[in-house]
């Protein structure tokens, strides 16, 4: 192990090396953001050591030099992986919410394919791009004893369009199980339909989406259009109270939530929301979808 990393366990060291490699490739990649208080200095020390070892000048930022540094970082990662079980490393990184997003095996739910129909392939690519190269991301680790969800990840990416009004932010939410990310929530957010000014995080963004397109649901006696996390002794039963008296046709409502076992007797439902797909589809069509 490199001298700069000897005080860290292999899993932590692997994470530092992986983020250093991502930073070297694209310093603005959110997945390369610091996880440790002194990580920026650690990265500088790691790259300094590699440059010295390989005889690369400190001021050489050529493509050739950067490629050599990237290969060296990959080799360091591989040497750590060989020391411990690879699956165990990935599992621990995933549990902490530190797994680089390009490693996820993405499983997109059939509900998304059903909604987009013939246009699903194009939307699937947008969802994958959002996860692989997000502008921002938010992860919840294992159970923390709070009311937060656990093993949940959210990603957002802005997709510009030649017609500015048709530009949008894709918001994707998924549940992690090791390196598998299961996605059943992926929404386009247009600035003329949802105000994103002063949005605090991606959960706040999802909550604003639910405020715009949500339908009130009765969730185990609680009423609302969005629930971050709710515990239940059984798989939750969601009851709707949809007012169709002023509508010529019934509203098409999609119920979205993720389920995880809390213990042997209870489960947690997280990111629970019910969306009026008729209204959401109208906004998509207004923006050239």
- Per-residue pLDDT in tens (0 to 9) along the chain, 289 residues: 678 888 887 778 888 888 888 888 877 777 778 888 888 899 999 999 999 989 999 889 898 888 899 889 888 887 776 655 566 667 777 777 777 777 788 999 999 999 999 999 999 999 999 998 899 999 887 776 667 788 899 999 999 999 999 999 999 999 998 888 999 999 999 999 999 889 999 999 999 999 999 888 877 777 888 988 877 666 555 555 554 444 445 678 888 888 877 776 777 888 888 899 999 999 999 998 8
Distance CA 182, CA 199 (A): 25
What is the domain partition of the chain in residue ranges? Answer: 3-84, 129-286
CA-to-CA dists, residue 43 to 174, 196, 235, 258, 278, angstroms:
30, 34, 45, 36, 49
Give the global pTM. Answer: 0.66
Task: Enter the tokens of residue 228.
Answer: 């971050």
Question: The tokens 């259009």 sit on which residue?
Answer: 225
């Amino acid at each position: 192990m490199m001298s700069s990393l000897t005080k860290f366990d292999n899993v932590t060291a692997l994470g530092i090396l992986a983020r250093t490699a991502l930073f070297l490739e694209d310093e603005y990649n959110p997945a390369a953001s610091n996880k440790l208080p002194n990580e920026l200095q650690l990265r500088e020390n790691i790259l300094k050591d590699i440059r010295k070892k390989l005889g690369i000048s400190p001021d050489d930022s050529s493509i050739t030099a950067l490629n050599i540094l990237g290969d060296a970082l990959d080799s360091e990662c591989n040497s750590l992986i060989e020391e411990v079980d690879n699956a165990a490393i990935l599992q621990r990184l995933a549990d902490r919410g530190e797994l680089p997003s390009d490693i996820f095996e993405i499983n997109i739910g059939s509900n998304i394919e059903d909604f987009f129909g013939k246009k699903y392939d194009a939307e699937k690519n947008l969802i994958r791009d959002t996860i692989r190269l997000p502008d921002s991301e938010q992860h919840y680790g294992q159970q923390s004893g709070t009311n937060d969800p656990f093993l949940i990840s959210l990603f957002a990416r802005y997709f510009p369009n030649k017609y500015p009004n048709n530009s949008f932010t894709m918001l994707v939410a998924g549940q992690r199980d090791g390196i598998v990310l299961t996605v059943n929530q992926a929404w386009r957010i247009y600035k003329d339909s949802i105000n994103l000014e002063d949005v605090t995080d991606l959960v706040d963004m999802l909550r604003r989406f639910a405020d715009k397109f949500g339908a009130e649901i009765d969730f185990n006696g609680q009423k609302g259009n969005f629930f971050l996390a709710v515990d239940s002794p059984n798989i939750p039963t969601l009851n709707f109270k949809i007012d169709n008296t002023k509508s010529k046709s019934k509203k098409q409502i999609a119920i979205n939530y993720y389920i995880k076992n809390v213990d042997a007797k209870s489960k947690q439902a997280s990111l629970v929301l019910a969306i009026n797909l008729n209204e959401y589809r109208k906004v998509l069509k207004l923006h050239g979808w």
